[in-house]
Amino acid sequence: MPIKIPDNLPAAKILKEENIFIMDETRATTQRIRPLKLLILNIMPTKIVTETQLLRLLSNTPLQIEVDWIHMASHDSKNVSKEHLLAFYKTFDDIKDNKYDGLIITGAPVEKLDFHDVDYWDELTTLLEWSKTHVFSSFFICWAAQAALYYFYGVSKYLLSHKLTGVYLHHTNVEKMQRKILRGFDYQFYAPHSRYTSVSKEDIEKINDLDILAESKEAGVYIVASKDGSRFFVTGHPEYDPDTLDKEYKRDLANPDIISEMPKNYYLNDDIHNEIQVKWRSHAYLIFANWLNYYVYQQTPYNLDELKER
């Protein structure tokens, strides 16, 4: 089944070339089913790239999805044109009276800053508070996972001694395998990370409402979930394209002010000239499909006006 997107969104051409079933707005108006309504706050600097990455993963289910994109009005996005934002994005004020089946908030390259020093922190926390009564289930990625853990549960982040970048082996929590978000998972799987900060397993274990569902010996806690399925926190980047870490590394190499770290377990034999070892794509599709199916589609009320605080 398709994902519904605006007729002229740049991602549409790429997805069609990949034979991914998308539905333009014109055709969607003829459908007689209620699509899942998702809100995506895209705070990654490369917005068009991130749009394509997320839409690719969200389209891999038999569900029709309708996406509203928003950006932070209090932040000046320098890597995307104002025309693109005006054409395809809204602000929180535009959607605050709506209700949604699901919310996704992306990562952002601001993890070295204290949360309160991020220029859009107040606007973000307004959105997070609003989500309690206007969103059925939320999915937070990388920095957004850290920010949401801090806002909802008081979990602090800490600065790493060097950038954590690469594709790391993870293992599921065998005692939590009954959680539907893990359905179909291998006990061991790979996922990309790219960040300078982390959260403490010990801090999360003190919170009764949270379960640690997967982690890595090298990369730490990976999937954290509220017991009622209303919030999922993923500390890595399952949505990354095969060459995303490669582009980030080469960008850092060209910047004399950054100590560049070669992504671990990424290039064959750790040689930048060798092929990239893509080990995480099946996991990426599965985690998004499980979230959409088991925690959004199967549980959300048909009438979104019936949403209650979660």
User: Could you give the C-alpha distances from 24 to 2, 7, 29, 89, in angstroms and in order?
Assistant: 9, 5, 9, 16
**CA 79 – CA 84 distance, rounded (Å):** 11
Strand residues in the chain grouped as ranges (E): 3-5, 22-24, 36-41, 65-70, 89-90, 100-105, 135-141, 157-172, 188-199, 210-216, 220-226, 231-234
The verdict on whether 193 is a catalytic residue reads: no
Is 237 catalytic? The answer is: yes
Are residues 55 and 104 in contact, defined by beta-carbon separation less than 8 angstroms? no
Q: Is 142 a catalytic residue?
A: yes
**Contacting residues for 171 by C-beta, under 8 A, at least 6 apart:** 187, 188, 214, 215, 216
Q: Which of 71, 170, 193, 237 is catalytic?
A: 237
Asked whether residue 251 is marked as a ligand-binding residue, the answer is: yes
Q: What is the 3-state secondary structure (H, E, C) of 60-87?
A: CCCCCEEEEEECCCCCCCCCCCHHHHHH
Q: Which amino acid is at 163?
A: K
Task: Identify the active-site residue in 51, 111, 239, 248.
Answer: 239
How far apart, in whole angstroms, are the C-alpha atoms of residue 43 and residue 37? Answer: 19
247 is in an annotated binding site: no
Element (DSSP H or E) covering residue 281:
helix 281-290
Count of Cβ atoms closer than 10 Å to residue 281 Cβ: 15
Instruction: State the catalytic residue, choosing from 142, 193, 215, 283.
Output: 142
d(CA 103, CA 284): 17
Amino acid occupying residue 177: M
Q: What is the largest CA-CA distance in the chain?
A: 56
Catalytic residues: 142, 237, 239
Extract the annotated binding site for substrate: 163, 194, 251
Extract the annotated binding site: 163, 194, 251
